[in-house]
Structure 1
Amino acid sequence: MGAGRPVQRGGGDVTSTPPPRTLAEAQEALRRRERELAEAGRQIAELSRELSDADHGLIALHTELEEARGAAARLAAIVVASGDAVISIDPLRTIQTWNPGAARLLGHDADAIVGRSADELLPEGALPAFEDALAGAAAGEHAEPVETRWHRADGGLVDVSVTVSAMRGSDGAVTGYAIVAQDIGRRLVLQSELAAARAEREVMADRERIARDLHDMVIQRVFAAGLTLQSVTALLDHDRAVDRIDGVVGELDATIEELRNAIFDLHRAPQQATSLRAQIFDAASAARRPLGFAPTVTFDGPVDTAIPQEVGVHLLAVLREALSNIGKHAKASAAEVVLDTGTELLLTVSDNGRGLGPGTRRSGLANLRERATQLGGTFEVTGRPGGGTRLAWRVPLTGHPGGSDRP
């Protein structure tokens, strides 16, 4: 093979440089070749570093993805296990997700509710507050819970505390909203019971104060007045005057006895009846002494399941006032109480006395009329054939908290 001729390798044509003719040329070619090899080595090392960095980056990215998947799985497990309703909606308020807690609280299955508008959950008048909560979340404001009521699938309403948070994309734009609704019905009941207990404590404190005042001042003054009158009788010779004074003293003694009974009642803690029906019987029984007889009580229809609590409070007050008026003014020997809970509540109190005078109608019955008006009802007093009075107190059974919605 001659020097300087082309070299054939692997079937390809590779033209080599002409061999150096002198030692200097050979040394220069060697140095040039070393430089090329050094540059190639540097490039290879740099490429290796880049590949190593890329490997580390891929490993870190894979780790982050796995951690994100784990966090998402844990969050999903929390949402599924939560007893609260956790739902998500898009910017148009279309429901996107619906957890089992929402199904339990509101009665809708996810398959039936996803894709429908969240507005369907809101009762009339609740939409403005919901829109304000969405706007506040979109503006980045701190999410304050909003207490409201939502529709259930069965048509009923449930008390809920709603918290709204905005979901955002990588560019910061709102992509939807996460909503958590917590059932607060039990909490509201406990708050109401606590408020009632506090009010009862205040009432008992007032009752104790009144009882002390009655015992320490009123009874003592009445007793002293009776003693004074008794001492006066010894100075009188007129039998008729003595009899009248003795009658007044007897009335004072009866008044003292009534005051003592009132003080005893004030010292007793008020006992809650187990039902409204029982409280009605208690009111009628309590009227027996001032009336001199026991009024009859008749029920036509359910009581405890049909009459809302708010109406029941007014009903008892009206019944007590009506029986008290009979005892004070009617001079009756019989009274009848009838409670009808058909399409409305009708309380009828009748007596066989002499009737109520015009003055009593204007003053003593004004409160009964006001209670009926407050509940959207009516009140009237009429005479009975053959003598006596009939009182009719009528109010609707719907439109009150906890009221019946029967047709």
Structure 2
Amino acid sequence: MTNRETLLGGLPAAVYTTDASGRITFFNEAAAALWGHRPEIGKDSWCGSWRLRTAEGEPLAHGDCPMARALKEGRAIRNAEAIAERPDGTLVPFLAFPAPIRDETGEITGAINLLVDISAQKQAEIQTQRLASIVESSDDAIVSKDLCGVIQSWNAGATRLFGYSADEAIGKHVRMLIPDDRQDEEDVILGKVRSGQRVDHFDTIRKRKDGSLVFISLTVSPVLNGAGKVIGASKIARDITERKESESRIRMLMREVNHRVKNQFAVILSMIRETGKHATTIAEFDTQIRNRIMALSQSQDLLVDGDWRGADLADLVSNQIRPFAAERRITISGEPVLLSTMAVQNLGMAFHELATNSAKHGALSSDLGTVEIGWTASDRFRLTWKETNGPTVGKASRKGFGRIVLERVAPLALNGVGHLSFQPDGVTWTLDAPLDLVRTPAP
């Protein structure tokens, strides 16, 4: 073994030599380890790898490898990339630095090649490319900045969220995204980042290029260099406008539910109080209060079915009268009216009291009796309940809960006037009220 081979044999880098015709004359153990193969000295040519591929992964003939090119072209080649395929199928990307060896006369007598395993670098490149692809395709805004707050990177998600292109944002201070009344947030965030802390899911508000504000959830993580020193921060911002709007709607609905529940309690307490004044026995009280609460519940069901926007007047009338009489004895006429929540509750009580009284004492207590309910809704809301062909009715001398509902509670709730009259063949009730309090406002 020559002195040169002794020297090269101890190197940690992969090195081998060939003669002028390309036959391998020497290789060190580092080269054998890279190839995963030990070529035959003086027999195998150009490269000791079992098989070769181009940097793109295509098959590469040994006669076209970097060493062969260097000998054929008579010149050194730098950073020639290729892939060695080991007998076990492992692929090892490497850089080759082949150079001809010349004698004193300049004649090529052989060549030497240094091989550098770049597997780790390639894997890092793949990971970096994959990460870059993930960042760029993310729906979230992903931004990096240095410890001074200057933007260093800006993905497509950030452009969609904030409106600035990467060229407009990179190199600018991140404070351009922060509303004036929240500028101190950046000092707090940078302070935590410098100490190596992470900021998780911080809900805040940021400013778009057009000046509009957007609710975001912000996560900030320190960026470290190879020595583990904090050199910047990575920020992920997610648009939570829909979530905030949903939370706002839920809060509004809860307030509305609370308001309506309190109204229901007030109505029920009034029912209990007034029913208790006029009921003569506990059994009568129990029956009347149970029926009135059930009627109120039926009105609520109509509101729920209508998503609390209101209920159709014809449906409300039918819903309250159906338990007391066959449809042939009831006539309902009037243009479609979507009642407000207030109107549903109060008219529902009124119809229940009218139907209950009619079934006990009025037209619906007689086989021939009928009830006509009609209304108009042009300039004002006018409704009439008229019973006919019932037993002779005398004027009621006692003001029970039903009469209070018809003459006071329902009309006053709708800022209207209710009138109850006792005709010989049946009761008539009329209601005149402003249309805007009876009907649900148009969206």
TM-score, length-scaled by structure 1: 0.46
Q: Which has the higher helix share?
A: 1
TM-score, normalised relative to structure 2: 0.42
| Greater strand proportion | 2
